A = this chain, B = another copy of it.
């Protein structure tokens, strides 16, 4: 019965580095990719630590996490205190736009109740090819 009111997170050098990396980009990247980037930037942080940090941040809502079709989990920093929102992500370069869809939220709730479902959650991911990537003829 330990109360643990709000699991305090200590600000370590490693965690700061992860946050800094997240701040420096708006792209969704896998834990491994963030780790690579950190190592390239001179950090000696361990892979497991990056996983643990991203996990903690995702749990506290400070980063967005999405799962790709291949089962990889991608992370991206989340605008502070932002409302629940969705993403339009370029599947080639990882760039992502935030999009709002208030109509959808209402619609989802309605459909769910019609089918007798409660405690609804939803995942919406739009992926495509952004203008820059399309211009380069990639893909």
On A, residues with C-beta under 8 Å from B are 67-73, 88, 90-91, 97, 99, 101, 103-104, 107-108, 111-112, 115-131, 134, 139
Report B-chain residues with C-beta under 8 Å of the C-beta of A122: 124-127
State whether A128 touches B123 (Cβ < 8 A). no
For residue A113, which residue of chain B has the nearest CB?
B128
A120 adjacent to B128 (CB under 8 Å): yes
Contact partners of A128 in chain B: CB under 8 A: 112, 117-121
- Give this chain's copy count: 2
Choose among B116, B126, B134 the residue that contacts A108 (Cβ–Cβ < 8 A). B126
Query: Could you list 25 A-B pairs, sorted by A, with CB under 8 Å?
Result: A67-B67, A67-B68, A67-B69, A67-B71, A71-B72, A88-B112, A88-B117, A97-B117, A99-B115, A101-B107, A101-B111, A103-B107, A104-B104, A115-B130, A116-B130, A117-B129, A118-B128, A120-B127, A121-B127, A122-B124, A122-B126, A122-B127, A123-B123, A123-B125, A123-B127
Complex interface: chain B residues within 8 A of A139 (CB) = 119
Chain B nearest CB from A114 CB (Å) reads: 9
When distances are taken between beta carbons in the complex, the residues of chain B under 8 Å from A104 are 104, 107
B residues near A127, Cβ cutoff 8 Å? 120-123
A127–B112 alpha-carbon span in the complex (Å) = 9
* A128, closest chain B residue (CB): B117
